[in-house]
């Protein structure tokens, strides 16, 4: 996306980074020169029309519309001048900026509300919004998450405090049948981020998004889009991405086509697994910066992820250690509250049953997805294994905890397929100290729950190995697919195909990692499911979209 500065003759496109640098410089000048600017404008008999007057906003109903300004608190904004109206050029020499201004027309009454569609109201003047939106652009977003068959949540971040609205339409042309959300103000307390809910959507329908900041569209080119989830009777397709390279360290990143091919899958949902980034942020600013780097469309390493994934499909996410905190981190992490705060600022999560973690559940066609939080509730990896050691409920929350939530969810599920998406391998032959093999008592409890209750269609999807593999259950206990990293130079976070200390495990349906055949092992996972007849296919694909391993899971 780009912003632009308007001159008398042309519109010069600039990047968000250029807009940020210019706005910093101009903001510093405004701090000292604003009184002089007003004096200059008064001497010339001119006023800046738009930023100092109320401006129109759209809303879905009168219940959500701002009240009309009372006498003395503002007046209706004038309508735009006709094309033939003479224009003058106001020069602000203190700033080195030229504004192409219309002759101010006479005020007109408020427009009459229309019988249908968005109604026009006037938002009272907000003194902190006097900067034109060219200086406060949308820096990140939209990111669409928490999508159901009838609703969604959209993340947007602006450069500074600003008014944000969304227009949604089933037509790719923004002039189509758009309806508009009520304006929201981004604030410094949340780093100028906002989450905007969308409701009353149609199932299995593609929507296009227009982002307005201070009334100015922010998108250049194709509009971002997403599709609502299908109903229970339709097949479902899920793309799984996990273990991203460190965006702040380009030396770890391998240029890849993974994101482009993942976007071409046209999935109903893209799940982003743990280690969304490997930088191990600790401070509030570092945690926020991690997401800003991941969502940066101007970064050549992340541009394809933004345009081909975030702007084409709804997403879901759960963390692992390197994006949650430090390596092998657990419930005792000193920054747990900060991590909880920032992920809710920057990622549109599905409802989380507890503020202690981010475990979530998603119903998608014939599939019920359990996004397991295997970090913020786990006991220390070095604790002796036993009945009290837990990866799911180290805080002993009981009926309010994740272990009880997972147990009841599996017992009560009516979905044909139950996908347990966990950050680390369930396969005990993988010799990673922070995987399920060091929580063997709880692992056995989970297997016994599925077997004793005769729960059919349970499948594990995992990551953390930076490599791919599929097991039928011969070694994992239940079918499992481990998904490779999308853009890492390093292939395999554990080495060797034996049962040594650093063994990468046994996978009877195939593996995809560095060998004489594969020079790298970047890629993604694809899950395709249907209910009638019950079918589920697991695929590990490489960065060019080629299938490296595939397995049709029997329903049992």
Listing DSSP states for 312-357 in one string gives: TS-EEE---HHHHSSTT--TT-TTHHHHHHHHHHHS-PPP-S-TT-
Note whether 321 and 329 are within 8 A (CB).
Answer: yes
The pLDDT of residue 188 is 97
The residue ranges of the chain whose pLDDT is under 70 are 1-135, 174-176, 493-502, 515-519
Q: What is the pLDDT of residue 37?
A: 53
Question: pLDDT tens digits for 379-390?
Answer: 999 999 999 999
**Please, are residues 318 and 350 in contact by the beta-carbon 8 Å criterion?**
no
CB atoms within 10 A of CB 45: 7
Contact predicate 348/398, CB 8 Å: no
Please give the domain boundaries of the chain with CATH numbers for all domains. Answer: 3-129 (no CATH), 139-227 (2.60.40.380), 236-553 (3.60.21.70)
Cβ neighbors of 42 (< 8 A, separation 6 or more) are none
The pLDDT value given to residue 166: 97
pLDDT value at residue 94: 34
Give the pair of three-digit tokens for residue 88. 């003058």
The model carries a pTM of 0.77
What lies within 8 Å, CB to CB, of 247 at 6+ separation is 253, 277, 279, 290, 293, 294, 296, 299, 301, 302
pLDDT at 489 (0 to 100): 83
- Taking the C-alpha atoms of residue 121 and residue 55, their distance in angstroms, rounded to an integer, is 8
CA 89 to chain centre: 42
Of 222, 193, 192, 199, give the one whose Cα is nearest residue 151.
199
466 burial (CB, 10 Å; 0-12 / 13-18 / 19+) is buried
Q: pLDDT digit string (tens) for 350-401?
A: 999 998 999 999 999 999 999 999 999 999 999 999 999 999 999 999 999 9
How far apart are the C-alpha atoms of 106 and 533, rounded to whole Å? 68
Integer distance in angstroms from the first to the last C-alpha of the chain? 48
Contact call for residues 89 and 101 (beta carbons, < 8 A): yes
């Amino acid at each position: 996306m780009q912003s632009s500065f308007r001159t008398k003759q042309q519109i010069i496109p600039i990047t968000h980074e250029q807009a940020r640098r210019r706005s910093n410089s101009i903001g510093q000048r405004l701090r000292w020169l604003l009184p002089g600017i007003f004096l200059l404008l008064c001497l010339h008999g001119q006023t800046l029309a738009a930023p100092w007057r109320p401006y129109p906003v759209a809303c879905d109903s009168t219940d959500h519309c701002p009240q009309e300004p009372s006498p003395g608190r503002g007046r209706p904004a004038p309508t735009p001048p006709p094309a033939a109206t003479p224009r003058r050029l106001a020069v602000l020499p203190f700033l080195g900026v030229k504004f192409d201004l219309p002759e101010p027309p006479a005020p007109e009454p408020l427009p009459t509300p229309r019988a249908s569609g968005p109604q026009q109201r006037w938002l009272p003047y907000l003194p902190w919004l006097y900067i034109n939106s060219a200086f406060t652009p949308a820096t990140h977003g939209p990111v669409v998450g928490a999508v159901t068959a009838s609703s969604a949540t959209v993340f947007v971040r602006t450069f500074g405090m600003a008014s944000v609205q969304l227009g949604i339409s089933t037509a790719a042309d923004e002039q189509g049948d758009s309806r508009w959300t009520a304006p929201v103000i981004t604030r410094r307390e949340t780093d100028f981020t906002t989450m905007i809910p969308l409701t009353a959507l149609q199932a299995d329908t593609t929507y296009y998004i227009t982002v307005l900041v201070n009334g100015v569209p922010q998108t250049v080119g194709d509009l971002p889009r997403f599709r609502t989830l299908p109903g229970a009777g339709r097949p479902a397709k899920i793309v799984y991405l996990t273990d991203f390279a460190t965006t702040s360290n380009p030396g770890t990143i391998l240029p890849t086509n993974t994101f482009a091919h993942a976007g071409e899958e046209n999935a109903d949902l893209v799940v982003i697994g743990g280690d969304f980034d490997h930088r191990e942020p600790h401070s509030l600013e570092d945690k926020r910066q991690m997401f800003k780097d991941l969502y940066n469309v101007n970064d050549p390493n992340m541009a394809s992820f933004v345009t081909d994934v975030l702007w084409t499909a709804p997403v879901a996410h759960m963390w692992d250690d390197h994006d949650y905190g430090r390596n092998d981190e657990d419930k005792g992490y000193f920054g747990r509250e900060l991590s909880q705060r920032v992920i809710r600022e920057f990622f549109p999560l599905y409802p989380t049953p507890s503020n202690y973690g981010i475990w979530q559940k998603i119903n998608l066609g014939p599939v019920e997805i359990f996004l397991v939080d295997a970090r913020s509730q786990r006991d220390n990896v070095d604790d002796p294994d036993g009945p009290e050691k837990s990866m799911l409920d180290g805080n002993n929350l009981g009926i309010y905890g994740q272990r009880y939530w997972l147990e009841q969810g599996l017992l009560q599920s009516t979905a044909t397929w139950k996908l347990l998406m966990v950050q680390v391998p369930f396969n005990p032959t993988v010799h990673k100290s922070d995987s399920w093999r060091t929580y063997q008592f709880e692992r056995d409890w989970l297997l016994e729950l599925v077997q004793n209750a005769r729960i059919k269609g349970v499948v594990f999807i995992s990551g953390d190995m930076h490599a791919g593999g599929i097991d039928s259950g011969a070694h994992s206990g239940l079918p499992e697919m481990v998904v490779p990293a999308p853009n890492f130079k390093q292939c395999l976070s554990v080495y060797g195909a034996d049962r040594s200390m650093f063994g990468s495990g046994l996978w009877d349906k195939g593996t995809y990692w560095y060998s004489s055949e594969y020079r790298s092992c970047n890629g993604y996972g694809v899950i395709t499911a249907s209910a009638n007849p019950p079918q589920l296919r697991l695929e590990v694909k490489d960065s060019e979209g080629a299938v490296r391993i595939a397995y049709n899971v029997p329903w049992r």
